Amino acid sequence: MAKVDVIMPQMGESIAEGTLTKWLKAVGDTVNRDEDLFEISTDKVDADIPSSVAGTLVEILVEEGATVEVNSVVARIETDAGAVVSAETASPEPAAADQVAAVDPVAPEATPSIEPEPAPAPASSVEPIAPAATTAPGEPESREERLRTKSTPVVRKIAAEHGVDISALEGSGISGRVTRDDIMAHIESGAAAPIQPAAETTAAPPVATPAAPSTPPAPAGAPGMMSVQIHGATLDIKIPSVPIREGDRVEEMSRVRLRTMEHMLMSKRISAHVTSVNEIDFERVVQLRRKLKGQFAEEGVKLTYGPFIMKAVVEALRDYPILNASVDGTRIVYHRDINLGIAVSINDGKELIVPVLKNADGLSLKGLATGANVLAEKARTKTLDFDDIQGGSFTITNVGVFGNLFGTPIVNQPQVAILGTGVIEKRPVVVQDTMGNDVIGIRHMSYFGLSYDHRVVDGAMAAFFLNKLKDVIENFPEDAV
């Protein structure tokens, strides 16, 4: 017999820890390969984690409600000695980075289907609050009941601070799950808060917000220092102190914001960033979209500008595969599949998550639209699983949703390029009339900015890629639908 370690999986590049919310198996239980073993909750996604091997659960090392770092051993399974042994339950590849913008399949007509998402609210490892019992003792809960009574660390922390019993609230999430917006709306409404029994809460009574401290709060570790992990090495960065004056408001960064800061600093340090910009005429796409919108709608598919952009990106990546690659030491890994990261804004723009549309190069325009819509809906209803947020090979991010002309996004490691699309708007431009004369015309125009890793992508190659993108969009073939 052999023992296999079960680890806490990484549910995205910027996720450093997760809360083990429920064990679905007990010590001594038989576990089948791919059978759900435990539930986890992170600031990005909740998921049931399957076992990678068949055997008997012999040790549970992390109790329900505990928050641990990714790759921590949470249990051990005993398997037959001859079985193929996996060292981990799940090991997702990094998800797309927490950029400041997102592709949105339901964006308004005046802009491309891409919209941004600020980072989520602070999370912590506060012990979870035991939900009210929903089943008889010993009776297994259904998945819907577990989802209803389960919440993220952020929600539990807010509930604990305000003395709110989560199980007494009506949630808007999947299966009635209470979201951060639900609990904040309840608190801000001034409604009488359902009080948790004393035995169920670990939070102290709420106290008045203190005045701004005379010195800034120091990050974890040495005062005024931040540690960044780069290829297994720790880099200590000195953070300058900031004078805090009367009237200033001070708040700690959330765990997600700290991880985002670390990931972006790491990317800037690893990749030699360069950005090239091209102006693109969207008039052809605007006209084609107007023609196809009704047809798509009859089939239940909402058609925005996003699928046109994705289709053009796919065509450009086929011609210039260096943009669909990664750097592994001194080797360049050219990815066979084109997996597009599609960032989606959730919780009224308070949070960002980037699901990945797999094998986008095999999808039609309708397939791209359908896939993007499904991923966006799953993101907003918190039903994404770890397979939905891993494996991206190229990222699209929008800086135009707020009217910005273009941007210079940071490359999402380990990818080598990221496309930032600017606002699509009517502008006066020089065009040719039917006689070949230059005249001033009104066109829907946009600026596309491509940030790329100059270690492997040169300016000429980036220009070729952008020119191909421009050519596909300006002459979009109707048979590509």
Which residues are known to be catalytic?
Answer: 454, 458
Retrieve residue 343's tokens. Answer: 């960032």
Please choose, from the candidates 368, 235, 234, the residue with its C-alpha nearest in 3D space to the C-alpha of residue 292: 368
Q: Whole-angstrom distance between the N-terminal and C-terminal Cα of the chain?
A: 55
Pairing of β 73-79 and β 2-7: antiparallel
Retrieve residue 408's tokens. Answer: 């210079």
Alpha-helical (H) ranges within 111-251 are: 143-149, 153-162, 180-189
Q: How far is CA 389 from CA 47, 204, 343, in A?
A: 12, 36, 10
Instruction: Cite the beta strand spans of 252-330 per DSSP E.
Output: 273-281, 325-328
Please choose, from the candidates 107, 186, 172, the residue with its C-alpha nearest in 3D space to the C-alpha of residue 345: 107
Buried b (16+ CB within 10 A) or exposed e, 97-110: bbbbbbbbbebeee
Rounded Cα–Cα distance for residues 125 and 456 (Å): 40
Rounded Cα–Cα distance for residues 149 and 143 (Å): 10
Query: What is the DSSP code (8-state) at residue 415?
Result: B
Rounded Cα–Cα distance for residues 86 and 252 (Å): 39
Q: How far is CA 384 from CA 36, 173, 323, 375, in A?
A: 16, 13, 27, 8
Retrieve residue 463's tokens. Answer: 């220009």
Q: How far is CA 153 from CA 63, 123, 219, 250, 426, in A?
A: 15, 6, 20, 22, 45
What does residue 436 show for φ and ψ, rounded to 5 degrees?
85, 10
